[in-house]
């Protein structure tokens, strides 16, 4: 239950409901696979973040999960939005989010992305490289207004997470390196430029970090760098990890805020301190429901249970070796005494959702299976591999399931072909 969205409940027959609607009903109405988001859970995590860090101090990293409904919800709950591409910026602006509530990131922003950001008037742009400084200067020379900028700094620390999502070490594509002097050179360069207003520095050390000491170490380095610069703003990134399995532990938003308070206690009160959580806002708010299509038992080897999605709707197990729980939403409490590998329907042996899952002994074709904690970096990383249409996304609240992103159709699969 700890892994399920907050409004989840299980009735006497073992049927799982989220937001007052049974998962079986949602699967029947919208098909499978479907991402089911608990809207109340989403609003609660947004509110907790604002309560912990302050009004207009929390910037939701949209890449964790972005569609029109989500950016509207985050905006309604008072979160600012972090976008990393022109595409994410388009979705936010198109949904009616004011430009001055959006922040642009990215290690390789194109001239077009910068042009859009500068003319729209974003809250700030997090500048990542000397090439980008030059690009902004060229655009300003063309007549675009000088943006407020922060500089992304690579503080040179290792964090305990997967190497693919560790971003604060010296050997990184992101940001200005602190240890080789680039950070200080960038500050001087940006300060001297008429094409931008340098307002702060930024770091983001990695994602799915559960060791709070990693944040504290990085943030202390950043605060030490920040103090003598006499700038008004500092952004300390996202990265707070979440529990994916029953044995995982992760700090709460409040504990994370406590670490931040300690690390920034020397800063004057008027300094604006931003954080940029993504995963911790959305991950546990959603589950994915699949249907079982085949059950193959190879005596003495293992059982394979194939579902109707896989690496195209959740590439995290394949990319990072991520581990998920799995259970039947129509009999949540059934004893799971057998073991099986839960796989997708793609033409890859690596298309594995759960390597070795405890399951009931009698899982059969047509059963539903749910993987919890799929709200972050699953739908947003979904692909059309094998021309599988991307799943539907549903928000549930108060007994109503609302389609917010429809399932792709066969026509969608050829709509770009000319
Ligand atoms: C991805 C990212 C975040 C959010 O990371 P989470 O681990 O999802 O909290 C924040 N800031 C930047 C710059 C990012 O790239």
pLDDT at residue 158, rounded to an integer: 78
The DSSP bridge pattern shows strands 352-359 and 338-343 to be antiparallel
CA distance 58 to 176: 23
Kindly report the number of other CB atoms within 10 A of residue 210's CB atom: 17
CA distance 36 to 405: 11
pLDDT at residue 100, rounded to an integer: 98
pLDDT at residue 228, rounded to an integer: 97
CA distance 386 to 90: 27
pLDDT at residue 213, rounded to an integer: 92
CA distance 322 to 190: 40
pLDDT at residue 406, rounded to an integer: 98
pLDDT at residue 171, rounded to an integer: 87
**What are the per-10-residue average pLDDT scores of the chain (418 residues)?**
94 97 98 98 98 98 98 98 98 98 98 98 98 98 98 89 79 94 98 98 95 94 97 98 95 97 97 98 98 97 98 95 95 95 96 96 97 98 98 98 98 98
CB 309 within 8 A of CB 391: yes
C-alpha distances out from residue 383 to 24, 178, 345, Å: 25, 36, 13
Q: Which residues line ligand 1 (CB under 6 A)?
A: 61, 63-64, 82, 105, 204, 207-208, 237-240, 276-280
CB 277 within 8 A of CB 61: yes
Query: For residue 169, what are its two tokens?
Result: 């070490």
Distance 38 CA to ligand 1 centre (A): 22
The structure's pTM equals 0.97
Atom 3, ligand 1: which residue's CA is nearest? 238
C-alpha distances out from residue 147 to 38, 156, 198, 385, Å: 37, 27, 9, 39
Distance 239 CA to ligand 1 centre (A): 6
pLDDT at residue 412, rounded to an integer: 98
CA distance 334 to 328: 8
Q: Which domains does the chain have, with CATH numbers?
A: 9-37+283-414 (2.40.37.10), 39-279 (3.20.20.10)
CB 114 within 8 A of CB 134: no
Mutate to test the pocket of ligand 1, among 49, 52, 60, 64 (most ligand atoms within 8 A of CB): 64
Distance 182 CA to ligand 1 centre (A): 22
Verify whether residue 347 is a known catalytic residue.
Answer: yes
**Three-state secondary structure readout of the chain:** CCCCCCCCEECCCCCEEECCEEHHHHHHHHCCCEEEEEHHHHHHHHHHHHHHHCCCCEEEEHHHCCCHHHHHHHHHCCCEEEECCHHHHHHHHHCCCCHHHEEECCCCCCHHHHHHHHHHCCCEEEECCHHHHHHHHHHHHCCCCCCEEEEEEECCCCCCCCHHHECCCCCCCCCEECCCCHHHHHHHHHHHCCCCEEEEEECCCECCECCHHHHHHHHHHHHHHHHHHCCCEEECCCCECCCCCCCCCCCCHHHHHHHHHHHCCCCCCCCEEEECCCHHHHHHHEEEEEEEEEEEEECCCEEEEEECCCCCCCCHHHHHCCCCCCECCCCCCCCCCEEEEEECCCCCCCCEEEEEEEECCCCCCCCEEEEECCCCCCHHHCCCHHHCCCCEEEEEECCEEEEEECCCCHHHHHCCCC
CB 233 within 8 A of CB 191: no
Atom 13, ligand 1: which residue's CA is nearest? 204
């Amino acid at each position: 239950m700890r892994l399920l969205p907050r409004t989840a409940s299980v009735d006497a027959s073992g049927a799982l409901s989220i937001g007052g609607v049974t998962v079986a009903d949602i699967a029947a109405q919208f098909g499978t696979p479907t991402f089911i988001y608990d809207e109340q859970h989403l609003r609660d995590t947004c509110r907790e973040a604002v309560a912990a860090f302050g009004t207009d101090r929390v910037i939701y990293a949209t890449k964790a999960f972005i569609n029109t409904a989500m950016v509207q919800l985050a905006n309604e709950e008072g979160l600012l939005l972090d976008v990393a591409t022109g595409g994410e910026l388009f979705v936010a602006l198109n949904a009616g989010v004011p430009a001055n509530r959006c922040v642009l990131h990215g290690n390789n922003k194109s001239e077009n992305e910068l042009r859009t950001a500068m003319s729209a008037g974003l809250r700030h742009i997090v500048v990542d490289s000397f090439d980008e400084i030059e690009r902004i200067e060229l655009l300003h020379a063309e007549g675009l207004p000088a943006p407020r900028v922060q500089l992304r700094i690579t503080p040179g620390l290792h964090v305990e997470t997967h190497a693919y999502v560790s971003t604060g070490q010296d050997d990184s594509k992101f940001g200005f390196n602190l240890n080789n002097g680039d950070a200080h050179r960038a500050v001087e360069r940006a300060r001297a430029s008429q094409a931008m207003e340098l307002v702060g520095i930024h770091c983001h050390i990695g994602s799915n970090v559960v060791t709070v000491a990693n944040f504290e170490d990085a943030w202390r380095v950043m605060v030490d760098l920040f103090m003598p610069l006499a700038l008004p703003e500092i952004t300390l990134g996202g990265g707070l990890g979440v529990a994916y399995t029953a044995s995982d532990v992760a700090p709460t938003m409040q504990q994370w805020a406590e670490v931040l308070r300690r690390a920034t206690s020397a800063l004057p009160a008027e300094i604006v301190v931003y954080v940029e959580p993504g995963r911790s806002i959305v991950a546990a708010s959603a589950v994915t429901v699949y249907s079982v299509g085949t059950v193959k038992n190879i005596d003495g080897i293992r059982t394979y249970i194939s579902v109707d999605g896989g690496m195209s709707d959740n590439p995290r197990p394949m990319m990072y070796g991520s581990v998920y729980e799995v259970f039947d939403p129509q009999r949540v409490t059934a004893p799971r005494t057998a073991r099986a590998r839960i796989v997708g329907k793609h033409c890859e042996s690596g298309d594995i959702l759960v390597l070795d899952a405890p399951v009931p002994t009698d899982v059969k074709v047509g059963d539903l299976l749910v993987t919890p904690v799929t709200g972050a970096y699953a739908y947003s990383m979904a692909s059309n591999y094998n021309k599988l249409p991307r799943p539907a996304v549903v928000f549930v609240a108060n007994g109503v399931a609302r389609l917010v992103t429809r399932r792709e159709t066969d026509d969608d699969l050829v709509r770009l072909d000319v």
